[in-house]
Structure 1
Amino acid sequence: MIIGLIGFGKVSRNLFNLIKSDEITFITSTEGRSKSTVHNIEESGIEIFDTFNEVASKSDILVSATSPKSALTVAKECGKYVDGIYLDLNNISPDTTLEIDKHVENLIDGAIIGKIDSDNPILYISGEKSDELLFLDKFITTKKISSNIGDVAILKLLRSAYTKSLSALLIETSQIAENHNLEKEFFDVLTLTEGDDFKEKSVSRIVNTVNNSNRKREELEEIIEYFSDSELIMVKAALEKLNR
């Protein structure tokens, strides 16, 4: 079996490292990649082809893990060369996923949940051909959600709505606690009910949100647009907080 990778960031690199089998060969291309990505590809020992179209045509499973902005373009350009499974792992909206489905045969909607470069992330998949990827459970915990394209994308949005709203609330309450010289005590009392690692995870969440506030705002705006028929009071409040 040949698995082709479009993109060689953390997602693709970790899949390459986790899925180890004499019956599986990974391939990719350095076409249009940055110097640092080319270096990572060459250091990995993965088989390299001249173009991604060639990678697509030779793959039994083609994994797209590039960026949300390029996901649809990649699908339009490379999808027509794929005879096997096309697994999209980009953080995209359900609408974009359904648009990709128009250009790709055998699309599987996927998401890596958990720390991307950890030893135990979980792969969630949906789509009519999802059963054909359940063998990956031997290497990475793999869960089929449904046979419907877009279901995993919806779950990604809902998860994002929760985590980003929670991050906004953490930022607000921790700032108030700091203003009252009670930041340590604030996390101490929450740790009693939320778990011993709550403070560490919360601080990491706050720092990540602040450092990537523009992207977080864009993601919240996308959530609000997609679920426009829902109330979303808390999500809209989180967006307002990040805008400030």
Structure 2
Amino acid sequence: MIIGLIGFGKVSQTLVNLIKSDDIEFLTSKENRSKSTIEAIDELNVGLASTFDEVAKLSDILISATSPKSALNIARKYGKLSNGIYLDLNNISPETTLEINKCVDNLVDGAIIGKIDSNNPTLYVSGHSAQELLFLGEFLNIKLISENVGDAAILKLLRSSYTKTLTALLIESFEIAKRNNLENEFFDVISITEGSDFKDKSLSRIRNTLNNPKRKSEELQEMISYFDDENLIMVKAALEKFSQL
């Protein structure tokens, strides 16, 4: 079996490291790659094709893990060349997923939950052909949601809205605690119910959000836009908080 990779960032590198089998060959291309990406490809000893067109045509499973902005164009360019499963792992909206479904046969909608570079990430999949990917459970956690393309994207969006809304409240509470010189006690009292690693996880979330408020706001706006008929009071409040950061 050949698994083709369009994009060779953390997602693809992690999959290459996790999926080890004599029956599986990874294939990519150095076409228009950066120097650092070529070095990563060489280091992992991934099979090479001269072009991405060739990668798409030869692959039994073609994985798109590039960027949300380029996901649709990548699907239009290479998805139509694929005769196997097209697995999209980009952080895209359900709307974009459905657009990709119009131009790609055998689309599987995928969402990686948790840190992608962890030893055992969880991959949620949905789509008519998603069941054919369950063999990957030998190498990582994989959860089949349904045969409906877009369900994985909706779950990904819902999880994102939950964590970001929670982070907005966390930032607000932490700011008040700091102004009252109670930041350590703030984490201590919440850790009683939330676990001993609450402080480390919370500070990591806060730093990440403060470093990327615009991107976090865009993701919440995407949520509000897609579920415009829902009463998203908390999500809108989180968006207002992020706009002040």
TM, length-normalised to structure 1:
0.99
Question: In the aligned structure 2, how far is the partner of 1:37 from the partner of 1:214?
Answer: 27
What SS does the corresponding residue of 1:67 show, helix, strand or coil? coil
- For residue 63 of structure 2, what is the aligned residue in structure 1? 63
Alpha-carbon RMSD: 0.6
Q: Structure 1 residue runs of 4+, over 2 Å off?
A: none
Deviation string, structure 1 residues 99-133 (Cα, Å, up to 9, x no partner): 00011000000011111000011010000011100
Deviation string, structure 1 residues 187-240 (Cα, Å, up to 9, x no partner): 000000000100000000000111111111111111110010001111001110
Question: In the aligned structure 2, how far is the partner of 1:42 from the partner of 1:24?
Answer: 18
- Following superposition, the deviation at residue 38 of structure 1 comes to 1.5
- For residue 202 of structure 1, what is the aligned residue in structure 2? 202
Question: In the aligned structure 2, how far is the partner of 1:53 from the partner of 1:172?
Answer: 49
Q: Which segment drifts farther, 45-54 or 182-191?
A: 45-54
- For residue 146 of structure 1, what is the aligned residue in structure 2? 146
Question: In the aligned structure 2, how far is the partner of 1:35 from the partner of 1:216?
Answer: 29
- For residue 106 of structure 1, what is the aligned residue in structure 2? 106
Paired AA for residue 55 in structure 1: V
Paired AA for residue 101 in structure 1: N
- For residue 220 of structure 2, what is the aligned residue in structure 1? 220
Aligned-pair identity (%):
66
Q: Which blocks of at least 5 consecutive residues in structure 2 are unaligned? A: none
Question: In the aligned structure 2, how far is the partner of 1:209 from the partner of 1:173?
Answer: 15
- Following superposition, the deviation at residue 37 of structure 1 comes to 1.1
What is the correspondence of 1:27-176 to structure 2 with a 5 Å cutoff? 27-176=27-176
Q: Which blocks of at least 5 consecutive residues in structure 1 are unaligned? A: none
Paired AA for residue 196 in structure 2: D
- Following superposition, the deviation at residue 80 of structure 1 comes to 1.1
TM, length-normalised to structure 2:
0.98
Paired AA for residue 61 in structure 1: I
Question: In the aligned structure 1, how far is the partner of 2:52 from the partner of 2:113?
Answer: 26
